[in-house]
Every structure is written in C-alpha cells, then in structure tokens.
Structure 1
Amino acid sequence: MKNSFVELNGRQRAFSLLDENSGREIVGPEFDFISPHLEPQNIVPESDDGVIVVKGKLNKKDAVIISIEGSFQGGGIGEVSGAKIVAALEKTLEDNKKGEKEYPIIILDTGGVRLQEANYGLLSISEIQNAVIALKKYVPVIGVVPGRVGSFGGMSITSAILSYLITTPKARIALNGPEVIEQEAGVREFDSSDKNLIWDTLGTRQRVKTGIADEVVTDDVAAIKEAISDAIMENKDAHRTEQADFYLSLIDKIDFTQPLDTKEYSNLFAANNPVEHEVQEAHASKQPKTKSRGRLWFEKLTGIENAESNYSTVLHAAKDGKEYIAIVPDEHNRFPRVREGEVGLQEGFLVAKVVNQIVAEDKDKQTKRPLVLVVDVPSQAYGYKEELIGIHISLASAAAAYAKARQSGHPVIAFIPGDAVSGGFLAHGLQSNRIIALTDDSITIQAMSKASAARITERTIAELEEATKHVPAMAYDIHNYEKLGALYKLVPDVSSWDANVEATQKIETIIDEAIASTKNQPTDLSFRYETPIAVESGRKATNEMRRIVFDQWKK
C-alpha cells in the first residue's frame, strides 16, 4: 500500500502524523543513548533504544508523538526507553498544567516488558501508566496500534488506561500472547499454532466489537491522522477502566468450565446489563482457607482469623485508620486459572471497586486514608477466556484506581511478603509510592516465569540464569531487586511464613514510617528513582535520560 502506516518504521510513523516540517525529535539517535543492559548479554543495542519522541504540530495543534519501534527487541520496554517515554509524558503534563495545550499520542507496537531487562520494564511501565492517568485530567491521551507486533503484555494494560484506542485491521491486542498461555497453561488452553483462532480472538475487529479498542481504520497515514485529530477535537474518552460493574456483571453470566467462542461472547457483551457489585469488608470465620503468605500477613496485620468476604479472592479491611487490601488464592474458585492467587478478571475489577469507593468517601477529607497492599501475586491468570474478555482491562482498572488514589493524596504502601510477578504486580503493587519487602529467598519478583521467558527470548533456562548474573533486573530474587533502588525498605530477619507477634509489630512500625515519609512529598512515583541506591547505580540511566529530555524539551 502506497501510504501504509503499518509498513513505516517507528520514526517514519512519528513524523508522518505531524504537519510538514514541524517535527523535532527529542534525544534522537545522534545522542547514541543506548541501554547499558544489553551488551553484557551479547545483544546489539539501538541508538534510540527503540523509542522515538517527536514534538510538532498535528493539524496545527501542539502534539507529542511517542512511537515504539516494534522491530527492535519486539518493541519491549526497558530502562532507557521507558525513561524516555515517562520523561516526555511528564513534560507534556507540565506544559498542560501551565495552560499550554499539548496532545500526547502513543504508537504502540510492543510486546510489553523487554524480558532482557525484566524488572526495569515493569517499573517503567507502571511509571508510564502513572503519567498517563495524570495527563488525562487535562487532555485525551490517544493510542494507535498499527500492527506488526501489536500491543501485548504490560503495555496492553497501558492501552486500556489510554483515553482512546485507534487500530488497523493488522493489529492484535492482548495481555498474554498465545505462546505464553500455551507454555503456562497448555496447548489445550490456547493453541499458538492456530492462526485463525488467534486473529478471531485477539484481532482488532473483534476487539472493537467488544470494547477493547475504539476504532478500526484503514491502514493509511491520512486516515489514521484524521482519526487522531477527530479524537482530540471531540475529547474522546472510552473510560475503559471505569466499567468494573459492567464486566463483573458480564463475568457473572459465564461458566468458565465450559467452552466460549467469539460469537457467543460478542452476543453476551452486547446484551449485558450492569448491576452494582459490592465488595464487603473481610470478617472472621471458623473455616480454614487456602493458605498463602499474602493471606497469612493480611490476617495478622488486620487481626482477622480465617478472613473471608463475599468474594473469596479479594480481602479488604480497616485497621488503625489504614485500609489493608490483599489478593489471595482459593483452591475451590470457579475460575480455574486463578486458584493459586493469580490476578484474574474478577480480582482487578473488585480491587478497583474497593479503591474507588475509598477515594470517593475521602474526597473532601483533608487527611486521606492510607492504603496498604499486601502483595503475594504469582502472576496474572493465563487463559483463553481471560484474553477473549480482556483481562488487561481488569488489571488496568486496579492499577488506575491505585494511581488515582495516590495522586489524590492517599499514601499507597505495598508490603511484599510473597511473590510479585508480571501483570499481577502491575495491578496490585507497582502503583505504590513506597514498597516494603521481606528479605526472604522464597520471594520472586519478575516479569515472567523462567520457562516462558526462555521460550520468548529463545534461550535455554541455563542461558537465562547466566544472564541474570550480569543484569540484576533479570534476576528473580529480592536481593537483586533491591539493587534497582525501588524499595523503601528491605526488612531483614523476618520470614514470609513467620508472622509472629514480634514480626507483625515490626512490619506495622515500618508501614507507619513509610506512610509518614509520604507527608508533604510528591504523589507521583519519583521516590523510586531518587533513593540513594537508585541515584548511585540502580536507576542511573533513568535519571540521565530524564535530564537530557528535560534539557531538550523547549529548545
């Protein structure tokens, strides 16, 4: 196609959307700002790290185009590329706060986290989501998913947070790719070799029909530019992360033990009538529950024995002026893919309901309730039905709720006594402005299981483990995670399974200290790259990229 948008590379796409001769690139390839984490793994870096930021005019309006290059590392987000996106969004936010209207457009051609930089990718994506949510108070944040790679992983969660999502017929959108679902749940759950099934399920025609994307346009530069311009002019916003009751009502009607095809689901979606859902506060019971580190610590911190609610996997309770929230396993759950504590369709929407209600109740209060997230999430749910319905919207709803709470003045504190993995961590934990973790070798913090990461990066597990010796962000243990600088406190001498009276009191004291540390401090996520560890080494590239973007912004 002569004017195909899909066939352009990332840089060409960015400039093609802007009025002729109006574009100016920020931190372009001539600055050769490469990722410091790839060459130690014998991976050739890219001079722009796969992200292009261009300022210019779109139909005479000031615009910032952020374009992700899908041909470099599958469009994966690492430390440098993520920092470039976040810095550009923050400067756009700053301009809009001054009354200088500037419209951000993000071109998503991305597999999500760059697995070769794993935990840097998770941190960066959460920071991108935070900036998008702040910006949406001023201008619509428009997303374009052209094709080639599509929008997957953590960046699919970001796509659900954007105001409006424009796609072409050549694009796909999903949290978990078919290969990952096949690896984690088996070929009978999702056959990654069945291309027709993949496109029928994840292709944008189906996605627009069921509310996951907003518009499919012809693969033509002019058509995409017109669609973006219309979205800006009409201030379009799908409010995708504010539809918890709609999706919870929809899920109520589906039997997750039975087959569900796209036609049947589309009919259910079209006929759905939402009803109000309430997540009751946890209370004590006599019946023992499925054990987990998250449940153990939630019960000890709240004093509720065998805690239960009207939804078995989401617990919340008030204690000493704080609201504790946990996602826990239920071995008898009617959702087969979330029986071990994964964050699934229901969990994200329920958490959003809880948090949004707290924010609404405290709206006019001078002092906002602190939220304490007890984090023990082994991953997101891996399932065909989860992808068909749009699990990434569920996770986005939880992440957006936490971000809005923090931005409105609620201290959001994550306490990690268990695992914090992948989309589960993005939904429940990474929007916190302070993170506390136990020094326990059983804790895993990562973007993907070793088996799936090896498959996607085309390495053996042995090769993957060797790479973690050179890049701490790729490692799975809490000690290497500390080296990134994101933690407020790493607590020694307390075991994940030993929540005795002394240990509980110690954690309560640290949580109170973390809450106090947020007073009169920024309500963004800047703390995590301003800690001594982050400044000295953990986020050195992040801070340098931020400095250069800020320096070039107005020149």
Structure 2
Amino acid sequence: MKNSFVELNARQRAFALVDAGTGRELVGALDYMISPHLMPQGIVPESDDGVVLVKGKVADKNVVIISIEGKFQGGGIGEVSGAKIVAALEQALHDNENGIEVYPVIILDTGGVRLQEANYGLLSISEIHNMVVALKKYVPVIGLVPGKVGSFGGMSITAAILSYLITTNRARVALNGPEVIEQEAGVREFDSSDKDLIWNTLGTQQRVQTGIADEIVADDVTALKDALTAAILEKKEAHRTEKVDFFLSLLDKVDFSKPLNPQEYRKLYRENVAQPHQIAEARSTDQAGTPSRGRAWFEALTGIKNAQTNVSTVLDATVDGKTYIAIVPDANNNLFPRVKNGEVGLKEGFAVAAVVNRVVAEDADKAEKRPIVLVVDVPSQAYGYKEELMGIHIALASSAAAYAKARQAGHPVISFIPGDAVSGGFLAHGLQSNRMIALADESITIQAMSKASAARITQRTIAELEEATKHVPAMAYDIFNYQKLGALYKLVEGIASNDPSPANVAQIEKLIDEAITSAQDDRTLHFRYENPVAKASGRKATLAMRQAVADQW
C-alpha cells in the first residue's frame, strides 16, 4: 500500500503521526544507549534498543509518541527499552501534574517481555502499567496496534490498561501466543499451525466486537492519524479494566467443559448484562484445600484454618488491619481446568480486582489506608484457548491496575513471595507492590516463561538457555539471581518455603510491618531503582536512561 503505516519502521511511524515540523526525537540512535545484556549472549544490540521517543504536536495538542520496533527482537521489552518507555511516561506525568497537558501515545508492535532479559522485562512492563494508571487521571493514554507483530505477552496487559486502542486489520492482540499455548497445553488446546483459527480468535475483527480493542482503521497513515486525533480531542476512554462485574457475569455463562467458538462468544458478549459480584472474605472450614506454599502461608499469617471463599482459587481476609490476598490451586476445579495448579486465569484476575477495589472503596474517606499484603505463589498465567478468546489479558490487567490504583491512593502494597512468581501471573499479582519480600529458597522460580517455551520462542536449546543465564542474571530462574536486580526489599535467609512455623511466621510478620513502615509515604515503584543494590549494579542502565530522558525532555 502506497501510504501504509504498517510497513513503516518505528521511527517513521512516530514522525508520521505528529504534525509536520513539530517532531523532536529524545535519546535517539546517536545517543547509543544500548542494552548491556545482549552482547554477552552473542546478540547484536540496537543503538536505540528498539524504542523511539518523539515529542511533538497532534492537532495542536502536546504528545509524546512511544514507538516500539517489532523488527528488533520481536519488539520485546528489556531493561533499557523498558526504562525508556517508563521515563517518557513519567516525564509526561510530571507535566500533567503541573498543568501542562501531554498526551502519551504508544505504538505497540511487541511480543511482550524480551526473553533474553526476562526478569528485567517483567519489571519494566509492571512499571509501564503503573505509569499508565497514574496518567489516566489527567489524560487518556492512547494505543495503536498496527501489526505486524501485534501486541502480546505482558504488553497485551498494557494494551488492556490503556485508555483507547486503535488497530488495523493486520494486527493481533493476546496474552499467550499460539505457539506458547501449544507448548504448555498441547496442540489439541491450540493448534499454532491453524492460521484461520488464530486470526478468527486473536485478530482485530474479533477483538473489536468483544471489547478487547476499540477501533479498526485502514492501514493508511492519514486514516490512523485522523483516528488518533479524534481519540485525543474527544478524550476517549474505554474503562476496560473497570468492568469487573461485567466480565464476572460473563464467566458465569460460559461452560469451560464445552467448545466455544468466536461466533458463539461474540453473541454471549453482546447479550451479557453486568450483575454485582461480591468476593467473600475467607473463613475457616473443615475441608482442607489443595496444598500449596501460598495457601499454607496465607493460613498461617491470617490464622484461618482450611481457608475458603466463594471463589475457590482466591483467598482474602483482613486481619489486624491488613488485607491479605492469595491465589491458590484447586485440584478439583472443574469449572476452570487451566488453573488447577495455582495459575492466574480469568476468574482469578477479575476476582482479585474486585477484592482490591472493595478495599480501596471502603478506605476512601480514611486518612490512613490499610496495607494490602500479597502472598505470591503463582506458577504462571493460565494457558488455554477459551482464556485467549475471552481476553485473559484483561483479567490480569484488571488485577494489576487495581493494585496500582490502591498503592497510588495511599495503600502500602507489600508482596511476600514464599512460592513461584512467574510471567503474567506475577504481573497480575505481585509486581505492583512497592516492597517485595522473598524467601531465600532455591525451590522458588521467578521468571517470565517456562524454560521449554522460552527455548522455543528464542530458538535455543534448553542447554543453550541455561548457559545464557550464567552471563545474564535477569534470565536466571532462581531467587538469588533475582536479588541482584535490586527489586527486593528483603531476601530472607533460613526459612524454607514450605515451613510456616510459628517462629517463622513471627519473623515474616515483623518484616511485613517494617516494609509497611518503609512504604508508608511512598506511592511509587521508585524503591526498585533507588536501593543500594539497584544503584550499584541491578538497575544502572535503567538509571542512566531515566536521566537521559529527563535531560532531553
């Protein structure tokens, strides 16, 4: 197409959207701020790390265009590219807070986390979510998904949190790519070779009709700029992550034991009417739940034996002025078979969001907001065809956004990690915390994707993947390497993850109280950059990029 937007590179797309003569690039290729984590793996870096920032005007409104280059590492988000996006959003937030309207626009052409920098990618994406939630108090944050990569992984969660999503018919939006679902759940769950099935499920024709995207525009520069201009001038806002009751009502109508095709789901979506849903607080019962580290620690910290709620995989309780929340397995969960092992699925994401939203509403008029303590033991998000069809990324986005809003409203949000913390599950339940405490237990996995799937996506053998983790701590799967990134408030030695004894619980309770005090006046995620480990080594590239964006803003 002569005037195709899709065929442009990231820099051309950014300048094509701003009014002629108004564009100015920040921290561009000549600044040569590359990822320090790629060359040790034999990967040639890009001088702009695959993200282009352009300040300019659209219809005489100040904008910052954040354009992701899908041709570099599949548009994956690493430490430097992620820091670039977060820093630009944070500068836009400062301007808006000071009465200078700046509209952020994100061009999403991304597979999500850059697996070669895995845990840096997860941290960065959670920080993007935090900034988008904060900005939406002032201006809409607009997303464009042109194709060819689309918007996948953690950046599909970003797409769901954005105010308004403009697409072309050459784009796809989903949390898990078909290849990953096939790897994790088998070809019978999702055949990654069936291109018609993929496009009918994840393509934008389906997504716009089911509330996952808002508008389809022709692949034409002028048409896309017109759509963007309208979204800015009309301050369009889909409120996607605020429709918790709508989606919980929709889930009530779906039988996950039976097939569901895109046409049937469109009909269900159109006819659905939101009904109020209350997630009950946990109570003691005579029936033990499926054992897990998360359940054991939740019950030990709250004193609730055999805890159960009206959602079998979500536990919450307010004890001694703190609200505790855990996502737990249910081996007998026949309604949602893809979350039997503690994965975060559709029901879990929306139920957690309902709990957090309730806490925020109850404390709205209180000077002191109650702390929210997350007990984190999530092996991943759910991998399933129906989950993708219905937009599992919206469920995870609803949970992440609820935690971010709570923290920004003044609730200390503390994560205690006695179990696994993996991928979208961790983004939904854990990474919006202003302080994270973890047990120094080598059985804990903390990562962006299973080894089998990561090897498949990066076209490496598992042996090659494991060799790369020796050079890049962010790629490792253990909590000890994770500590090197500077993300943790405390790594607790001497307590096994499966041993919530009274003495161990008392020690963790003391650390949680200390973390709450530390976070009392901190509504940000800045601790991750500002602690000694982060400054010395863990986030040096992040800090350098933040300073560069601030200097050139």
TM bucket normalised to smaller: over 0.9
Match of 1:283 in 2: 283
CA distance in 1, matches of 2:355, 2:57: 41
Deviations 1:128-179 (A, max 9, x none): 0000000000000000000010000000000000000000000000000000
Match of 1:309 in 2: 309
Match of 2:261 in 1: 261
Match of 1:470 in 2: 471
Residue 274 of structure 1 aligns to a residue in which SS? Answer: coil
Residue 529 of structure 1 aligns to a residue in which SS? Answer: helix
Amino acid at match of 1:548: A
1:500-539 alignment runs, 5 A limit: 500-520=501-521, 522-539=522-539
Amino acid at match of 2:123: L
Alignment RMSD: 0.5
CA distance in 2, matches of 1:403, 1:94: 17
Match of 1:381 in 2: 382
CA offset at residue 498 of structure 1? 0.6
In structure 2, stretches of 5+ residues that fail to align are none
CA distance in 2, matches of 1:460, 1:257: 35
How many equivalent pairs are there?
552
Residue 324 of structure 1 aligns to a residue in which SS? Answer: strand
Amino acid at match of 2:94: E
Match of 1:219 in 2: 219
Residue 286 of structure 2 aligns to a residue in which SS? Answer: coil
CA distance in 2, matches of 1:390, 1:226: 27
Residue 53 of structure 1 aligns to a residue in which SS? Answer: strand
Answering whether residue 129 of structure 2 is matched by residue 129 of structure 1, we say: yes
CA distance in 1, matches of 2:449, 2:246: 30
CA distance in 2, matches of 1:353, 1:204: 28
CA distance in 1, matches of 2:536, 2:143: 35
Residue 111 of structure 1 aligns to a residue in which SS? Answer: coil
Match of 2:59 in 1: 59
CA distance in 1, matches of 2:18, 2:59: 7
CA distance in 2, matches of 1:40, 1:54: 30
Amino acid at match of 1:378: P
Residue 225 of structure 1 aligns to a residue in which SS? Answer: helix
CA distance in 2, matches of 1:302, 1:317: 7
Answering whether residue 40 of structure 2 is matched by residue 40 of structure 1, we say: yes
Amino acid at match of 2:324: Y
CA distance in 2, matches of 1:396, 1:357: 17
CA offset at residue 277 of structure 1? 0.6
Residue 291 of structure 1 aligns to a residue in which SS? Answer: coil
CA offset at residue 519 of structure 1? 2.3
Amino acid at match of 1:263: Q
CA offset at residue 365 of structure 1? 0.5
Match of 1:159 in 2: 159
CA offset at residue 60 of structure 1? 1.6
CA distance in 1, matches of 2:491, 2:281: 29
Deviations 1:290-347 (A, max 9, x none): 0000000000000000000111000000111100000000001121100000000000
1:392-403 alignment runs, 5 A limit: 392-403=393-404
CA distance in 2, matches of 1:148, 1:410: 40
Match of 1:83 in 2: 83
1:372-521 alignment runs, 5 A limit: 372-520=373-521
CA offset at residue 282 of structure 1? 0.2
CA offset at residue 348 of structure 1? 0.4
CA offset at residue 351 of structure 1? 0.3
CA distance in 2, matches of 1:236, 1:59: 15
CA distance in 2, matches of 1:178, 1:518: 40
Residue 211 of structure 1 aligns to a residue in which SS? Answer: coil
TM-score (norm 1): 0.99
Residue 473 of structure 1 aligns to a residue in which SS? Answer: helix
Answering whether residue 87 of structure 2 is matched by residue 115 of structure 1, we say: no
CA distance in 2, matches of 1:169, 1:318: 47
TM-score (norm 2): 1.00
Deviations 1:185-229 (A, max 9, x none): 000000000000000000001000000000000000111111011
Match of 1:336 in 2: 337
Residue 296 of structure 1 aligns to a residue in which SS? Answer: helix
CA distance in 2, matches of 1:207, 1:373: 32
CA distance in 2, matches of 1:61, 1:290: 54
CA offset at residue 480 of structure 1? 0.2
CA distance in 1, matches of 2:372, 2:297: 15
Which runs of 4 or more aligned residues in structure 1 lie more than 4 Å from their structure 2 counterparts after TM superposition?
none
CA distance in 1, matches of 2:546, 2:289: 47
Match of 1:195 in 2: 195
CA distance in 2, matches of 1:326, 1:150: 32
Deviations 1:372-428 (A, max 9, x none): 000000000000000000000000000000000000000000000000000000000
Residue 63 of structure 1 aligns to a residue in which SS? Answer: strand
CA distance in 2, matches of 1:310, 1:9: 49
Amino acid at match of 1:309: T
Residue 151 of structure 1 aligns to a residue in which SS? Answer: coil
Amino acid at match of 2:400: A
Amino acid at match of 2:219: D
CA offset at residue 21 of structure 1? 1.4
CA distance in 1, matches of 2:257, 2:70: 36
CA distance in 1, matches of 2:309, 2:453: 34
Residue 191 of structure 1 aligns to a residue in which SS? Answer: coil
Amino acid at match of 2:491: L
Amino acid at match of 1:368: K
CA distance in 1, matches of 2:311, 2:64: 43
Amino acid at match of 2:68: I
CA distance in 1, matches of 2:165, 2:474: 31
Residue 268 of structure 1 aligns to a residue in which SS? Answer: helix
Residue 410 of structure 2 aligns to a residue in which SS? Answer: coil
Residue 149 of structure 1 aligns to a residue in which SS? Answer: coil
Amino acid at match of 2:377: D
Match of 1:541 in 2: 541
Deviations 1:424-446 (A, max 9, x none): 00000000000000000100000
Amino acid at match of 1:373: L
Residue 341 of structure 1 aligns to a residue in which SS? Answer: coil
